Chain A
């Protein structure tokens, strides 16, 4: 990382060298956003009053509250673009904003606790920042982005209007949500592009151990209706939570010497004007370098090389521009408990979105069934059960 600073300085000088002033390029400001809310019922009637499961882990991503009207989030997004640059200020508020931007908070949602009181005091209003970055196009094919931006990993996003299903997948909930750092994207042609970057770590406002994660995305668009994204994030000692455990003495120092990698494949295929297919698959793992760590790691994760991963198939059919029907099937495995689910799960989600008001209003009736091999979910007696099924409706209004 000692070479990072000179490299960044060189990049900045290079940007300055290419800088040109165009007084006629006044740019364009776009103000957009959305609000969402939902009501659902769970047939397993969990005694705790939420869908997290009997051990209160991560049985559900954002829509966790049954049998009540629940607010998702409020988004206010400002985007300014001109010929050479883009600026995005994406602010979110509400329960799902706290869940989505959890690494910018110091509440119970964020397992990482900054050791320094000074760093802890920086967290305050940062919880509202979903994204804040600018992109500068050095030449039309090469751009650089700096700031906090949504992760390139995965298929689904926090923004409810952009997902077909309202309830989020386990792949989404167990992947990173955002990063703070720098990335550069180069378009080789209309069909292929490459993004590479360096970020602090995963989902965190600050970097606690100066170990960065590297990110990469290769995009290939062989057809106008088919896009493939091959994504990667990897780093040495870049898990802020694990470092916290080592610093606190819960884990031996040897446990801080590891490499973490996550590979992800995302595809979008609009087969016909009405029929759509999508695929998301991911696999991530930790490789601990020090033999002294084996015992402690094995005790914590049940494996000396803990891993997680899964695959989801998405399909939907648009009967009209108003009514569609979509199905998502997903298998996700976090048996080693290195992410948040701590089990494996098969999930089926059926959604029938109704789109009104020129696409501004989406009403999404939805059924979801999750099945785990153990008694992971919760029943009315507060005991474990192997399945959870919910039926609900979400309301999303965007502007």
Chain B
């Protein structure tokens, strides 16, 4: 019986998870905001961890102020039309990530989410058309289901990045690689 109940709960939770809404700030714009405690880690260490993570994930860093402990960077997530046979790039949602670090804690915010429409140009390369759409826009006439799928994929993508960032911020620095053992002729 307990197994059956758990299974029913799982069944009910699945559609809820899929329709999970994007977090909004008080101006009704999509924003993922969190203050994270990082006990015992100094601001300088957190700053270094954050910067390394941004570079590793291909972010374009526009502000890197080590004195104020602030990093601002932009990146984009690719979004696909799954199609009938194979998926195809439909657009990219670009966003800004702001990180502020202090001793023992840091603040992160993913915001300014804008969807860029992509299309093949006359040389068949997929390129941004210049048309844009704010991610919080609830309506997409003619492609509502695909738009909701893009919003959901963005939610999953940012949640995943946020989790990855949090792990990286707390990561202990790697020990330097061991020096190769000396080989003596008289072994």
Contacts and interface: CB of A to CB of B under 8 A. Distances in A.
A322 B141 contact: yes
B69 interface: no
Contact of B122 (A88, A154, A318): A154
Nearest to B122: A157
Interface in B75-105: 81, 83-88, 90
B85 A162 contact: no
B81 A321 contact: no
B141 A321 contact: yes
Interface stretch (B2-10, B25-33, B46-54, B128-136): B128-136
Contacts of A320: 141-142
B140 interface: yes
Contacts of B130: 224-226, 268-270, 273, 276
Interface in A268-301: 268-270, 273-274, 276
A227 B81 CA distance: 25
Interface residues of A, number: 38
14 contacts: A29-B86, A30-B86, A32-B85, A156-B122, A157-B122, A157-B124, A162-B119, A224-B128, A227-B121, A270-B131, A322-B142, A359-B90, A359-B142, A359-B146
Contacts, number: 74
A358 B122 contact: no
A321 B140 contact: yes
Nearest to A274: B131
Contacts of A30: 86-88
Interface residues of B, number: 27
A330 B104 CA distance: 66
From A29, A154, A399, residue with most partner B Cβ within 10 Å: A399
From B122, B128, B130, residue with most partner A Cβ within 10 Å: B122
Interface in A353-398: 355-359
A151 to B, nearest CB: 9
A321 B142 contact: yes
Interface of B: 81, 83-88, 90, 119-124, 127-133, 140-143, 145-146
B141 A358 contact: no
Nearest to B81: A358
A399 B141 contact: no
A213 to B, nearest CB: 17
A337 interface: no
Nearest to A280: B122
A347 interface: no
B142 A273 contact: no
Contacts of A273: 130-133
A139 interface: no
B142 A356 contact: yes
A155 interface: yes
A317 to B, nearest CB: 12
A8 interface: no
B143 A358 contact: yes
